[in-house]
Structure 1
Amino acid sequence: MPDIIQSPWQTAALLIARLIFAAVFLMAVTFKFMGMGATADFIAAAGFPFPLLLAWCAAILEVALVLCFLSGAFFTQAALVAAAYVLFLGFAFHGPSHWAGNQAEFGFFVDHFSFMAGLLFAAVHGPGRTLALNLGWPGKA
């Protein structure tokens, strides 16, 4: 496969997108670390067992995602995992069972699909060539 030259605006767009992905997960993990108990309570309220363990697992996953998005390492895999995670979160915490009590939940649910679409697009196109470790599956530069 021949090398594809990226224009400066494409490079900038990829870097900005990676920063946005990282920022979203960094904000999420920051809130978890600031109130792990509150996160566990939210998870328990959704009906999941072992809420504190799950809160810590989510925090660890989100830290890993931030590192992957910032570094470009294992970017495609991280974007796919993040897309699955975002889909799970949408259904588990904002899905149809939540809509009757609060119509805003439907908007939150739909937002998860927009974010997931961006993550899937990113998974296909990779982290770019600039400021990216490009570890992971071959052919994703």
Structure 2
Amino acid sequence: MGRTIVILVARLIFAAVFAMAVSFKFAGMANTAAYIAAAGLPFPLLLAWLAAIFEVGLILAFLTGAYFSDAALLAGAYVVFLAFAFHGPSHWQANQDEFGFFIDHFTFLAGLLFAAVHGPGERLALRKGFVWKDEAASAN
């Protein structure tokens, strides 16, 4: 029972982090686009909307457990991209806090990779995915 609770709490934390991010995007899509443009990326408004849609998909995957491992891997790649695009070495000279933000993304990546390998748990999880099947589920 304790393992199940811990896994569900972790899934809720992953979902909550992306829910906060997407809520800021929907509350101020123009501000998000301006931030993306300041990083030098093309088509900032389009990228802002694509990021919001992607984050909604991640939230659904983390909450339902469907495509959980796939979502965790994609979220990990996304987090690494965000680390370099918005907090990478080119930002450290102007603001040393950016180095801390950069490192924080890799801590989050570690959790996402661990989650991708171990899956969504045995409770409250839709067993669907592309990358690999959960060995426990496929044994039944």
Q: Deviations over 1:8-60 (max 9, x none)?
A: 11101100000000000000000000000000000000001100000000000
Q: Does 1:107 align with 2:100?
A: yes
Per-residue deviation, 1:134: 1.4
Aligned partner of 1:139 among 115, 134, 137: 134
- State the match for 2:9 in structure 1: 16
- State the match for 1:121 in structure 2: 114
Gaps of 5+ in 2: none
Specify the code of the residue in structure 2 equivalent to 1:80. L
Distance 2:34 2:9 in 1: 34
CA RMSD of aligned residues (A): 0.8
Per-residue deviation, 1:138: 1.8
Specify the code of the residue in structure 2 equivalent to 1:69. F
| 1:49-88 paired onto structure 2 within 5 Å | 49-88=42-81
Gaps of 5+ in 1: 1-7
Equivalenced residue count is 134
- State the match for 2:35 in structure 1: 42
Distance 1:10 1:139 in 2: 17
Distance 2:102 2:134 in 1: 33
Per-residue deviation, 1:139: 2.2
Distance 1:70 1:31 in 2: 19
Does the 8 A contact of 2:88 with 2:99 survive in 1?
A: yes
Q: Deviations over 1:88-130 (max 9, x none)?
A: 0000000000000001000000000000000000000000010
Specify the code of the residue in structure 2 equivalent to 1:115. F
TM-score, normalised by the number of residues in structure 2: 0.94
Distance 1:134 1:30 in 2: 27
Distance 2:47 2:81 in 1: 13
Distance 2:72 2:124 in 1: 17
Distance 2:106 2:43 in 1: 27
- State the match for 1:5 in structure 2: none
Could you tell me the percent identity over the aligned residues? 69
Distance 1:115 1:91 in 2: 14
